[in-house]
Structures are given as structure tokens and as C-alpha cells.
Amino acid sequence: MAPHLTPAEQGHARALQDLNPDMSYTEIAQRIGEVRRANMIAAKKHDALVSPYSMHDPDKSAVARLLNCETHNPAKLREKSTGRPPLTTKAQDKRLPAAVDRVEDKNPDTNVVAVMIGAEWNPGGKQVPANLVSRRLRAMGMPFLRCRKKHQLTPEMKEAAQRWGAKYSKKPKRFWTHETLAMDCKKFAWQTSRKGRKIAKAMCKWGSYRPLTAAAGIKRSTPSRLKHRQA
């Protein structure tokens, strides 16, 4: 069996192919064999040890594997399939954030899941799986994040806060450093039964697909207006 190609012989084979792309693998192997035999004659003159395989031409298959290898010659690599083609195009992917906004506007009090977004997106008139929608949104920097909690103030609560501000807005600094004031117009609903807590969690909006920006977080901080709300 002919020995493997040495690093010098590999470079020689690539150089021969670059000079003449039409040269066959057999001719390249013969050229390398001629160089081997010339090196063997030079080594014998200096009484150096010579391998008996240096008289043979390298195997044609070794040359073919080298020149068709992806690492050394990408231009010779045949196009290989990397799996199924993508279900959506880049133009369709660009319309996905707008579909998320439309679904969020229609469902301000409930979680907007990938199935709902896929039905609204409907790229090319075909239904796409939910995991594809999630992957596309994560790649765009819009993962599923928790919403900011915002208390729902009634008009009476807002009027009370304005009256409080008008009353204490002119107080001096000493008043704020020596007096203790507290105002709390928040009201939290707490469920005492397991069934009530289960309903409250299911009917409360706690997450949405949105960018990692503060403005997007404020925009998606909508309070729940449904029954059994639990803050």
C-alpha cells in the first residue's frame, strides 16, 4: 500500500491543481511519485535512511480525498443539503413583530402565546408551528419576558392623590424631615382557596413577547381587569 501524503506532498498536490485544474488525480499522483524518487536518490547520496515506500506513487484515492476535502478546497466541495428548507422567508419574518403588536392590542389582559401569534402572522397563508414562532422572536431579540406590575387606579384614587399633593406641596423641608407621612391607595386581592388561586393565576397577564428595552417593558405593563385578579 502506498504511504499517506506528507505535508509537503499535500502542498505540492494543491499547487499542481491550481496550475492546471484539468489535471487528473492519476497525473498528480505520478508527479508526486517522481518527486519522491528524486528525493530518494538525493538521500542515498548522503547515506540517509530511505523508506522502501518512497519508490511508489501515492494512491490516487489519497489525492482525491485531499483535493475534495472541505478544509483544504471549499471550491471543490459539492453543495450538500443541510436539512429542510426554512418554512418562512426573510420578508415574512420582518412582519412578525407587527403581528405580535396586533395580538397584544387584542388581548391586553391575557398572555399572548406563540400559537396566537402564529395564527395572526399566517405567513404565506400557511399555519406555522409554535416553536418556530418562538425561535424567530428570540432571534429578533424578543423573548418571552415577565410583564411589569402596574396597579389599576380608579378615578377616585387619582383624585385623592391630587388632593394629597395639593395639600402638602408647599410644606417646608423641616416638615418632611420631622414628620412621618404615609399614603397607600393600593388594594390587593388575595385568594384564600386553592381553586381561587388557580383561577387568578390563569386569568392574570404575567408575560409577553417583547424587546429587552425599558420602553417596551412599560408598554407591556398592562394590569389585569378580569375577575379574581391577584397582584
Q: Do the beta carbons of residue 210 and residue 219 sit within 8 Å?
A: yes
**Coil, strand, or helix at residue 130?**
helix
- Pair 189, 203: CB distance under 8 Å: no
C-alpha grid cell for residue 172? 417646608
Rounded to 5 degrees, φ, ψ at 93 are -65, -35
The answer to whether 206 and 113 are in contact (CB under 8 A) is no
Its sign, for the CA torsion 143, 148, 154, 155, is negative
Tell me, what's the pLDDT at 187?
60
Split at pLDDT 50, 70, 90, the class of 70 is: very low
Q: 178-224 pLDDT, tens per residue?
A: 766 666 655 666 778 888 777 776 666 778 898 888 888 777 777 65
Mean pLDDT on 18-25: 86
More confident site: 170 or 187: 170
CA distance 122 to 100: 12
Q: Cβ neighbours of residue 1 under 8 Å, at least 6 residues apart?
A: 59
What does the domain layout of the chain look like in residue ranges? 7-76, 91-145, 155-219
CA-to-CA separations, 112 to 104, 136, 141, 208, 213, in angstroms, rounded = 7, 15, 17, 6, 18
Report phi then psi at 129, rounded to 5.
-70, 155
- pLDDT for 116 equals 92
- Give the separation between CA 217 and CA 125, rounded to whole angstroms: 31
Q: What is the mean pLDDT of residues 37-54?
A: 66
Please determine, for residue 152, whether its predicted confidence score (pLDDT) is greater than 80.
no
